[in-house]
């Protein structure tokens, strides 16, 4: 995913325009052009269907919760054969936009992952389109595999030649020496 590229789908909602006592329902079904841009952005061959629907609802005095469902059909290349693999994704998506995020330890030089990965700082806008694209990227299968695709023997050599993997093995010579040495029982 190219994080420096402009988002292929955006739906910014100004937090100042949200009504503090009423949820805001939304539903995104990108058109064919947007699906192509989203597929390129997240690094898949195609996004055939995509629907992101839910609501933004108030929580407390200043915080907001995005509660939605992401449904998508994506096409990726098989990690073994490069054949197209179609996957169906149906996942719940929850983000909590909080006015005052929990404090993070700054004294420790290492980066700590917060326990609740749904918490986001509340800014001037909440972009439900950006949340949709991010949720899709996170839900993609990491290693899509076509049905029946197996790695098999990874040693390849031209006819009559010994495979490189066996020839480069430092224990191959010891094994050959052991096989030629008469055994004393």
For the stretch 18-61, pLDDT in tens is 887 889 999 999 999 999 999 999 999 999 999 999 999 999 88
Question: Any idea which residue has 């700082």 for tokens?
Answer: 121
**What is the Cβ-side half-sphere exposure of residue 104, based on CA atoms within 13 angstroms?**
14
- Per-residue pLDDT tens for 88-117? 999 999 999 998 766 655 555 566 655 677
Count CB-CB contacts under 10 A for residue 52: 24
| Section 70-82 average pLDDT | 93
The CA-based angle 93-140-64, given to 5 degrees, is 15
Q: In this structure, is residue 160 part of a structural domain? A: no
Q: In this structure, is residue 155 part of a structural domain? A: no
- Please determine, for residue 164, whether its predicted confidence score (pLDDT) is greater than 70: no
Count of domains forming the chain: 1
DSSP-derived 3-state class of residue 142: coil
Q: How far apart are CA 133 and CA 37, in angstroms?
A: 11
Q: In this structure, is residue 162 part of a structural domain? A: no
Q: In this structure, is residue 131 part of a structural domain? A: yes
Q: In this structure, is residue 148 part of a structural domain? A: no
Q: In this structure, is residue 19 part of a structural domain? A: yes
Residue 67: pLDDT band (50, 70, 90) is very high
Range of the domain at 123: 12-139
Q: In this structure, is residue 159 part of a structural domain? A: no
What percentage of the chain has pLDDT greater than the value 70? 78
Q: In this structure, is residue 157 part of a structural domain? A: no
């Amino acid at each position: 995913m190219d994080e420096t590229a402009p988002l292929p789908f955006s739906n910014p909602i100004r937090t100042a325009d949200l009504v503090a006592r009423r949820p805001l329902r939304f539903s995104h079904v990108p058109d064919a052009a947007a699906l192509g841009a989203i597929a390129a952005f997240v690094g898949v061959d195609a996004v055939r269907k995509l629907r992101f629907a839910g609501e933004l609802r108030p929580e407390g005095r200043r915080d907001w919760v995005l509660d939605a469902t992401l449904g998508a059909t994506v096409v990726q290349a098989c990690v073994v054969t490069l054949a197209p693999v179609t996957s169906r994704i149906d996942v719940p998506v929850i983000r909590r936009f909080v006015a005052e995020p929990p404090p993070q330890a700054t004294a420790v030089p290492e980066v700590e992952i917060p326990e609740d990965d749904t918490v986001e700082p509340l800014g001037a806008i909440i972009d439900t389109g950006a949340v949709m694209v991010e949720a899709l990227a996170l839900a993609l299968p990491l290693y899509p595999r076509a049905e029946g695709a197996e790695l098999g023997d990874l040693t390849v050599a031209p006819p009559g030649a010994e495979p490189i993997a066996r020839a480069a093995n430092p224990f191959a010579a010891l094994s050959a020496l052991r096989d030629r040495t008469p055994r004393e029982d």
